[in-house]
Structure 1
């Protein structure tokens, strides 16, 4: 799927960027960086068009190899995002260590943000923190106009979810 994603970007003439999920197995592999560099060269695209999404648990595991690989990929120009933020460890040290570009607030806080005051306050706190650090915020699971209105009210930078489109196996 990564190869297909890079090919899709190449067809768009630099007009878009994409996010790619990176697993712990990917990070433990010594082939991840060379593979991504090979794809950049093959499709003649810039690393700045790619955001690598890592699950919060993976980024929080602290394995030296994980941190080193992510730092090296960041130095190559890839953006980094912590996915499902707020679910597991919320390790602020990783944000500091990795120079994170995006935080994706987990769906559990977004799906009822319009009716649950605690979810609202948690999403607001995450957004305020991220904004103060210069990190962009993405709301997952925006499933209705009501939720989208609250997300906009909180000045969350980006949204994704069924309100905009159902998931697709196609790029």
Structure 2
């Protein structure tokens, strides 16, 4: 995942970089370099458990920590139905959650395709706006582990934040 390069004295010689050797003389500094490759980091995350085949989940499972998640989005808003009430509510929920939320509103996709795409991307929380919203005024938030809860639209941003962190 990371890499280390021993540079020796090549660059130190060119810069005249020396340190006192303790005996009144000087020695040329030995240099090294290290770094981390972002592409290797993502590959490592996937290899070390992000892809949960053993659990029956055929999707990415990005790890969540106290300081956040490496998932590309915190939530996906999935409207069920194409009426104006659902469409407006889904757009409002998407806007309330913010920039790292994906709205699945493609008219060419079935609800199942929207759910599947959200799961394949490993998005931690799915906000469903549909029949439950029409009946109660609340949206459903589903965590990738199968847990779900009903939340008022004005509280959805906080609930998604907790769900994305694994709470």
**What TM-score does the superposition give when structure 1 sets the normalisation length?**
0.25
Whichever structure has more strand as a proportion of its residues is: 2
**What TM-score does the superposition give when structure 2 sets the normalisation length?**
0.25
Higher gyration radius (CA): 2
Higher relative contact order (CA 8 A, sep 6+): 2
Whichever structure has more helix as a proportion of its residues is: 1
